[in-house]
Amino acid sequence: MQLNRTDLLEAYRRMKIIRDFEDFLHDEIAKGEIAGFTHLYAGQEAVAVGVCEHLSDDDKIVSTHRGHGHCLAKGCDVEGMMKEIWGSREGLCKGKGGSMHIADVDKGMLGANGIVGAGAPIAVGAALAAKLDGKGNVAIAFSGDGACNQGTTFEAMNMAVVTKAPAIFVFENNHYSEHTGFEYAVGTDKDIASRAEAFGMKVWRADGTDFSSVHDTMREVLEYVRAGNGPAAVEFDTERFYGHFEGDPQRYRGKGELDRIRAERDCIKKFRETVTEAKLLEGSDLDKIDAEVASQIEQAVAAARAADRPTAEDVLADVYIDY
């Protein structure tokens, strides 16, 4: 791992924010206080943080319906997001988008997306814009093992190759597209990266539960793409700790599966073990962050609860700039 102490602490803090954000939401949603559908990212934190730690606000990402982690890793405001998920007019999207449509274009976050596979073409457009601007920026499409089966993803990969767009297709393989197993739904012999390879891209594969593996791989990928070599793809093998959506009874899980992945494949636990064993950080450093993050999330929830509700007039606002 090529990170200094400050960077490591920051990476841990980011992952921990995502984890606590999602764990809190899991509990709150069970109480029935939050409207709509929510898809939690817990378990995959190392991917979002390991990718986004390399990016500036001028690099763009397009996310998925499971987008909280990407948003938080890309720098979206914790409280603004919490308020959005609560449907407040003070939310990041004024209560118009909710969990599935969180965006902050100024931070280079072009939106979570409720349509599986819809993000890849948008990322290609952002990459073409970056290419035109010629400043070495990139655009990243996060996709899961579900979106990798959508035609839009294929179209986007081919167009990126044809136009030499600085796009990176990050496939987070958490083994489940909604409630269907990856082994069933992906025909290319349990492998997504080979598809991207077939479109003519250079590809990488790495363990998505190992922060250093993600971080190091992305350094290589970004060097390659920023150098003007056209698009690239990465497949990260990762784990989803909660169901497809909140309320999913997860009857498709194997016996003891969740206990096993939480014990063996928890990216935060693994990070903690690695950095403390290597004496890069002290346990107390991390405990301090844990406490700070827990209180930050609690405050965000309290703020979201107390925030202004939108009014009926707000329905009509922000459809057009000028109509």
Partner 1 sequence: MTKMMYRDAVRNTIFQEMQRDPNVVVLGEDVVGGMGTAGGPEAIGGIWSTSGGFYEAFGPDRVIDTPISESAIVGAAGGLALSGKRPIAELMFADFIGVSLDQIWNQIAKFRYMFGGKTKCPAIIRLIYGAGYNAAAQHSQSPHAILTGMPGLKVVMPSTPADVAGMMRQAIRDDDPVIFMEHKALYGVQGEVPDDPDFVVPFGHARLTRAGQDVTILATGMMVGMAEAAADTLAEDGIGADVIDLRSTSPLDEEAILDSVEVTGRLVIVDEAPPRCSLATDLAALVANKAFASLRAPIEMVTAPHTPIPFARELESAYLPNPDKIEAAVRKALAYN
Give the footprint of partner 1 on this chain (CB under 8 A): 60, 62, 84, 91-97, 101, 103-106, 110-111, 113-115, 118, 120-132, 139, 151-152, 155-156, 158-159, 162-163, 317-323
- How many angstroms separate the Cα of 38 from the Cα of each of 25, 216, 244, 297, 310? 9, 31, 9, 17, 20
State the minimum distance, in angstroms, from the CB of residue 88 to partner 1: 11
State the minimum distance, in angstroms, from the CB of residue 16 to partner 1: 27
State the minimum distance, in angstroms, from the CB of residue 94 to partner 1: 4
Nearer to partner 1, 157 or 289 (CB): 157
Buried b (16+ CB within 10 A) or exposed e, 127-159: bbebbeeeeebbbbbbbbbbbbbbebbbebbbb
For 216, the 3-state DSSP assignment is helix
DSSP alpha helix (H) spans, the chain? 5-30, 45-52, 68-73, 78-85, 119-133, 151-163, 182-185, 193-198, 211-226, 257-264, 267-277, 283-306
State the minimum distance, in angstroms, from the CB of residue 121 to partner 1: 2
State the minimum distance, in angstroms, from the CB of residue 82 to partner 1: 15
Q: Tokens in use for 220?
A: 């290589």
Buried b (16+ CB within 10 A) or exposed e, 279-309: eebeeebbeebbeebeebbeebbebbeebee
Nearer to partner 1, 45 or 84 (CB): 84
Nearer to partner 1, 123 or 186 (CB): 123
Nearer to partner 1, 100 or 275 (CB): 100
Ramachandran area for residue 295 (φ above 0: left; ψ -120 to 50: alpha; else beta)? alpha
Nearer to partner 1, 312 or 321 (CB): 321
Nearer to partner 1, 23 or 155 (CB): 155
State the minimum distance, in angstroms, from the CB of residue 33 to partner 1: 21
